[in-house]
Amino acid sequence: MQLNLTENQMYKALVEKDEAFEGIFIAAVKTTGIFCRPTCRARKPKKHNVEYFRTANEALLRGYRPCKVCTPLAPKGEAPEWMKIIFDKIGSDGIQRFSDQDIRSSGIDPNRLRRWFKQNHGMTFQAYLRSLRLGTAFGHLANGEKVISTAYDSGYDSLSGFVHSFKKTIGVVPSKSSGKDIIHIYQLLTPLGPMMAASVEKGICLLEFIDRKMLESELKEISKRLDAPLLTSPGPHLKDLKLQLEQYFSGDRKKFDLPLSTPGSEFQKKVWKGLQKIPYGTTRSYKEQAEALGRPEAVRAVASANGANRIAIIIPCHRVIGTNGKLVGYGGGLWRKKRLLELENGELLK
**Residues that are catalytic:** 36, 317
Dihedral of CA 124/239/349/214: which sign? negative
* Torsion (CA) 258, 293, 334, 259 in degrees, nearest 10: -10
Helix (H) or strand (E) holding 26: strand 26-29
Q: Residue type for 74, please? A: A
CB 327 within 8 A of CB 336: no
Closest to 96 (Cα-Cα) out of 73, 128, 122, 52: 128
Angle at 56 between CA 51 and CA 59, to 5 degrees: 45
CA-derived radius of gyration, the chain? 23
- 176 backbone φψ class: left, alpha, beta (φ>0; ψ -120 to 50): alpha
